[in-house]
Structure 1
């Protein structure tokens, strides 16, 4: 068959498919999306199927998290309470049950230790650190919006990495808002890092965190530059970015596809509105490293993890692009159909995949 005949056949096939699709397509809604002069989009109500790329376990979990029982639970209403009550509810109703599941799946031992006045917990495999990781250590910086998750979130994020990877992980209980302000967290991370440098080479130290902790990992990498500290071996920015967290398309898609009201339109101020950053210049390279190529160029190899229903996805994409453009080494992994901090549930197949990615990254990058 000649090339012309092949192309003609392909064209005929495409036309036939298009005609069939048009014949079966539902009638267009009389309500059309509209765009104003500023480019803001208004979309009438629509129905979105759950992602066909996500697991059935993830689908069932999504349904449970939007059940009447969940909406009647204290955790669904905790945002209306004082911060002390929010912390108690988050720990008791959300994090502690997940920590129990994580410890059952990945047996570990947890040892409290205060380093330079900073409370930490060392989390190691129950059978001990793997021989090939004896000279390596990881620092975890927990999530929780710079206001919650102290100790509990650090355990939940650290247990799978320690248990699966055979690593010693030092979870840092850094100072948070509303009691403290930036750069308290960066200072605490630097305190722990300096202490670990007495026992470990910098190239054998990795830092990772999720959400606020992921942003803090990026801020710590910038802070170390300012303080003249050696560059760590690698960092992980999970469900977060190196600045402008909460901006971009996923500010809206993350909310809507998770069955929550869309945030108000206009300039995103998620970070600036956080009491941890009260009175802080958000363009400061120690706050938003992603805006400063000269800072990103000195970053260690960086792993970014996000998901398509994560409000932080767009900022993660922007950070990855900025790192590559600055000449830094960076990897980006996205999971479709999943939400912010999806790997908090160790039962999800996608969580196991994410843990393997994390461990594999530090295995490859530390010690270089």
Structure 2
């Protein structure tokens, strides 16, 4: 991720400091706790040179301070993502059209010249990241452009409702409304859904919500740098330290304004809480990096899907950070786009 990472960590954190980066660790107090001394961690020897350059230039740099006004934060990330969109469009030619689907604002991103005959009826719904606070518009295009170009499949990004203007389940309702509209012209087996970070969480929540509404499930989904559970586990502690950020304790849904008032044990919030809900998931692609604070949530989601017999494919890139493929230059980003394209090509009906 980059300059966005520090604010996302603050947004996803439970605000209980456990270990200040660069300082000696406190003695262990609870069973299983380990006091880790300060040390210098080298960057991954397996990462590409371009990834290393971006890691130094962006990831290790401070971002906006926590508590920044939402309008200023949205404008800040829009500038970052607009720059990425320019770079992406130079590498991955697409056509973009503004529209409304099921009453939800959307952008239709198609491969330049349109999809092939084989992909004419296939469509992917993209749910952008941004802590359920920002990311609409340019942030959505960052996730949609390379996938549409590499896969040859039309991608529809949704401008779902976010906090602070809206609360759960507003975003799930918006996804279901757009999905219901698409079902008038497409079979469910021709539709896939994917998202990164908050969009990855929303993808899982939307599958649960779609089933709750009695709609047929999509053909396949992608949960990237997030999963069907809270952002907890080892990576919530280790990954921030490996990206030069303060380390915080386990994450709760309550730390995100969008989930204010929602129950953490509600399977429509965290589908991993209900085996019956999770067992009904379609084939799922999960992607993360070893320096992604959401990696443990991704691993846990994959573990539970496999345990329940759901087809689940997991890819983790060494040294990569949260939403690393937002920048198109590293080899790891190009590899991830190819993985996404192959997965949806394999599972979406013609």
Specify if TM > 0.5. Answer: yes
Matches within 5 A, 1:180-199: 180-199=166-185
**Partner residue in 2 for 1:203:** 189
SS in 2 for 1:143: coil
TM-score computed with the length of structure 2 as normaliser? 0.90
SS in 2 for 1:321: helix
Within 1, Cα distance between the matches of 2:241 and 2:258?
26
Gaps of 5+ in 2: 1-23
SS in 1 for 2:346: helix
Matches within 5 A, 1:153-168: 153-168=139-154
SS in 2 for 1:79: coil
- Which residue, 252, 263, 272 being the options, matches 2:237? 252
**Partner residue in 1 for 2:51:** 58
Per-residue deviation, residues 177-227 of structure 1 (Å, max 9, x unmatched): 000000000000001001110111101100000000001000011011110
Q: Does 1:145 align with 2:124?
A: no
After TM superposition, give the deviation of residue 44 of structure 1 in Å: 1.6
Number of positions where the alignment pairs a residue of Structure 1 with one of Structure 2: 327
Per-residue deviation, residues 115-161 of structure 1 (Å, max 9, x unmatched): 23210000001121122111110000000000000111110000000
SS in 1 for 2:254: coil
Within 2, Cα distance between the matches of 1:111 and 1:61?
31
Per-residue deviation, residues 226-262 of structure 1 (Å, max 9, x unmatched): 1000011000000101111x20000011100001111
After TM superposition, give the deviation of residue 167 of structure 1 in Å: 0.9
SS in 1 for 2:262: coil
Gaps of 5+ in 1: 1-30
CA RMSD of aligned residues (A): 1.5
Q: Does 1:235 align with 2:217?
A: no
8 Å CA contact 1:33–1:41 kept in 2: the answer is no
Could you say if the C-alpha distance between residues 84 and 292 of structure 1 is closer, same or farther in structure 2, counting changes exceeding 3 Å? same
Is the radius of gyration larger for structure 1 or structure 2? Answer: 1
Q: Does 1:133 align with 2:119?
A: yes
Runs (4+) of structure 1 moved beyond 6 Å?
none
8 Å CA contact 2:103–2:178 kept in 1: the answer is no
**Partner residue in 2 for 1:105:** 91
Per-residue deviation, residues 247-306 of structure 1 (Å, max 9, x unmatched): 00000111000011111x4xx234221110001111101000012111111110000000
Q: Does 1:82 align with 2:69?
A: yes
8 Å CA contact 1:309–1:340 kept in 2: the answer is yes
